[in-house]
Amino acid sequence: MDTNVRVRFAPSPTGPLHIGGVRTALYNYLFAKKHGGDFLLRIEDTDQTRFVEGAEEYIKESLDWCGISYDEGPEKPGDCGPYRQSERKDIYAEYVDKLIDNGRAYYAFDTEEELDAKRKEAENQGTKFSYGPKNRDSLNNSLSLSSDELQKKLAESDDYVIRFKTEAHKTLELHDEIRGYIEVDTEVLDDKILFKSDGMPTYHLANIVDDHLMRITHVIRGEEWLPSLPLHVSLYEAFGWEVPKFAHLPLILKPSGKGKLSKRDGDQLGFPVFPLEWKDPKTGNVSAGYREEGYLPETLTNMLALLGWNDGTDQEFFSLEDMTQKFELSRVHKSGAKFDPEKTDWFQHHYLQEQPVGDLVDEFLPILAQKEIYPEKVYVEEVVKTIRERATFVSEFWELSFFYFEAPKKFDEKSAKKAWKKDSEEWMRALIGKLQSLEEFSQAHIQAEVKDWINTQELGFGKIMQPLRLSLVGAMRGPDVFHIASCIGKAETISRLNFAIEELS
Ligand code: GLU
């Protein structure tokens, strides 16, 4: 077992966590657990302009709900903390100085106006401005200043940035665990900003410094970060550090397969793209979450695990533990994974059936209480056991079982037409007589007695069973009528039959 595996999930607290982010966290978690390693949570909050109140709590609560636990993080200190980048500012300043000292980074004093002018000029010539090896010598930066001039400039103002000095004319040989060998010519790269005038590092610098200091061995993250890979590998080399292994996960695509799954797709097609409900602190807008929509965390993790990975067999149901044992980075797909909301509901149906019945009862009781129905727990348990296989969500329980708790107030017209015939009244009156004579009112006993009785009357089964069901349920649906009858009891069964006779004859 490879015990020094260390991976991290490094979200920026800029809003709710998209399910793509949950999948990234999940794969990191699975990989760490599979190899007996550590999984870290690092909050990348250096971009103060994008900081959103409550986002970090949301991220932690989401992971917690999914059962994705981390070994080190903001509230779980290890020996690499702090785990919030805004608390590590001094570290980045120290490291960017090292790059300045070894000539791999430089100060740039260009103002926004100067850069804008350059951009416009390039645009007019039909090209795109890029700050890099080809033009940096002619721009407003420290590369051409003497050390005295530079010191003077720095003393005068702190309105400067620090840029990475991309090596010119070099072919970078990169390796991705999922995508394999990638070759990039540094010609296409620009000199990215590493440190901003506000004294904060950019994502690139902070991310690399932290991955190094936190002894991260594998960087597993979304495909959207693949374009940053050449810079990141160059930064490791510039620092003289060992490069971790990289794995870029495939995009999660819209159900149509055309483009990346967005929040808008969820709104339009009616499914959440966030694990938990999120209320935007600025606009007050609420976005739906899997938890609040009644999904189980097992559904979400199973569904996400299979969006981009499988174990090489036809197995589709995976508990977290099972996935942990079987997860392999080499089995993560290269191409985008189509999101499938129906499949999600299929998983949900499965996991609802696996829930302990007591948990389902506990969730159903408040729904009943809202209707001022307060049955005994054992009674609700009996009902839930009978109807759960027809349900995908607890929220459907009432519709599937209301007749166990209250008499139908009206009869479904179509069902009544089909089930209640001219002679139904006569037969239901006879059935009442039969039921009245029964001493025992268990499901099996009522069934045996009523069936016997039907046979001796030489009747078609439907003649009795259909109006009976209609009377008890109000429609032609629901579980075994004898089960319903025995649950609601003899008096209630007879009362419902009488009501039906009154209403339908
Ligand atoms: N902070 C980045 C994000 O929000 C982290 C990317 C990475 O994992 O390197 O996704």
CA distance 180 to 188: 20
CA of 204 to the centre of ligand 1 (A): 9
Atom from ligand 1 closest to the CA of residue 8 = 8
CA 472 to chain centre: 41
Atom from ligand 1 closest to the CA of residue 11 = 4
Give, for ligand 1, the residue of 44, 59, 209 to mutate: max count of ligand atoms closer than 8 Å to Cβ: 44
Q: How much is the pLDDT for 1?
A: 44
Q: Which residue, among 181, 188, 174, has the nearest Cα to 234 in the 3D structure?
A: 174
CB of 21 closer than 6 angstroms to any ligand 1 atom = no
Contact 320, 67 (CB under 8 A): yes
Give, for ligand 1, the residue of 6, 18, 200, 207 to mutate: max count of ligand atoms closer than 8 Å to Cβ: 207
> How many Cα atoms sit within 13 Å of 92 on the Cβ side?
26
Domain 91-196 has CATH 3.90.800.10: yes
CA of 115 to the centre of ligand 1 (A): 27
CA of 145 to the centre of ligand 1 (A): 35
pLDDT at 46 over 60: yes
pLDDT at 344 over 70: yes
Of 89, 196, 245, 263, which is the active-site residue? Answer: 263
Dump pLDDT digits (tens) for 359-398. 999 999 999 999 999 999 999 999 999 999 999 999 999 9
In 63-117, DSSP assigns E strands to: 105-108
CA dihedral 275, 281, 282, 283 (to 10 degrees): 60
Q: How much is the pLDDT for 40?
A: 98
pLDDT at 2 over 70: no
Q: What average pLDDT score do residues 151-177 get?
A: 95
Q: How much is the pLDDT for 386?
A: 98
Give the contacts of 156 (CB within 8 A, at least 6 positions apart): none
CB of 207 closer than 6 angstroms to any ligand 1 atom = yes
- DSSP structural state of residue 164: E
- DSSP structural state of residue 290: T
Dump pLDDT digits (tens) for 427-463. 999 999 999 999 999 999 999 999 999 999 988 999 9
CB of 221 closer than 6 angstroms to any ligand 1 atom = yes
Give the contacts of 171 (CB within 8 A, at least 6 positions apart): 183, 184, 185, 186
- State yes or no: is 263 an active-site residue: yes
Contact 47, 6 (CB under 8 A): no
Q: What average pLDDT score do residues 66-76 get?
A: 97
CA distance 464 to 454: 8
Residue with tokens 């007050």: 284
Domain 355-401 is in which class? mainly alpha
Domain range list for the chain: 1-72+250-354, 91-196, 355-401, 413-504
What's the residue count for the chain?
505
Atom from ligand 1 closest to the CA of residue 232 = 9
Q: Which residue, among 38, 66, 61, has the nearest Cα to 319 in the 3D structure?
A: 66
Percent of the chain with pLDDT over 70: 99
- DSSP structural state of residue 233: H
Which residues are paired to 274 by β-bridges?
Answer: 289
**Which residue has a Cα nearest atom 6 of ligand 1?**
10
Dump pLDDT digits (tens) for 318-328. 999 999 999 99
**Which residue has a Cα nearest atom 5 of ligand 1?**
10
CA of 58 to the centre of ligand 1 (A): 16
Give, for ligand 1, the residue of 24, 39, 214, 221 to mutate: max count of ligand atoms closer than 8 Å to Cβ: 221
Identify the CATH number of the domain defined by range 1-72+250-354. 3.40.50.620
Dump pLDDT digits (tens) for 266-294. 889 999 999 999 999 999 999 999 999 99
CA of 457 to the centre of ligand 1 (A): 75
Indicate the burial class of 85 (C-beta count within 10 angstroms; 0-12, 13-18, 19 or more).
Answer: buried
CA of 498 to the centre of ligand 1 (A): 67
Dump pLDDT digits (tens) for 289-317. 999 999 999 999 999 999 999 999 999 99
Q: Which residue, among 363, 361, 255, 359, has the nearest Cα to 303 in the 3D structure?
A: 255
- DSSP structural state of residue 248: E
Which residues are paired to 253 by β-bridges?
Answer: 260, 338
**Which residue has a Cα nearest atom 3 of ligand 1?**
11
Give, for ligand 1, the residue of 59, 200, 225, 228 to mutate: max count of ligand atoms closer than 8 Å to Cβ: 225
Atom from ligand 1 closest to the CA of residue 12 = 4
CA of 100 to the centre of ligand 1 (A): 25
Contact 279, 273 (CB under 8 A): no
Q: How much is the pLDDT for 48?
A: 85
**CATH label, 413-504, candidates 3.40.50.620, 2.40.50.140, 3.40.50.1820, 1.10.10.350:** 1.10.10.350
Residue type, 456: T
- DSSP structural state of residue 140: S
- For 14, the token pair is 């800029």
Q: What share of the chain is helix, strand, coil (3-state, %, to 5)?
A: 50, 10, 35
Dump pLDDT digits (tens) for 179-235. 999 999 999 999 999 999 888 999 999 999 999 999 999 999 999 999 999 999 999
CB of 225 closer than 6 angstroms to any ligand 1 atom = yes
Atom from ligand 1 closest to the CA of residue 211 = 9
Count CB neighbours of 71 within 10 A: 15
* Phi–psi pair at 88, nearest 5 degrees: -120, 15
Round the average pLDDT of the chain to a whole number and report it: 96
CA of 225 to the centre of ligand 1 (A): 7
* Phi–psi pair at 309, nearest 5 degrees: -150, 150
Looking only at the bridges linking them, the beta strands covering 38-41 and 6-9 are: parallel
Q: Which residue, among 62, 55, 142, has the nearest Cα to 103 in the 3D structure?
A: 142
CB of 10 closer than 6 angstroms to any ligand 1 atom = yes
- For 416, the token pair is 């009544």
Contact 13, 291 (CB under 8 A): no
Which residues are paired to 184 by β-bridges?
Answer: 172
- For 48, the token pair is 């103060």
CA of 250 to the centre of ligand 1 (A): 15
Atom from ligand 1 closest to the CA of residue 14 = 4
CA distance 194 to 345: 44
Residue with tokens 């000539």: 103
Q: How much is the pLDDT for 3?
A: 55
| No. of helices (H) and no. of strands (E), the chain | 20, 13
**Which residue has a Cα nearest atom 2 of ligand 1?**
11
Q: How much is the pLDDT for 199?
A: 87
Global confidence as pTM = 0.94
Q: What average pLDDT score do residues 52-81 get?
A: 97
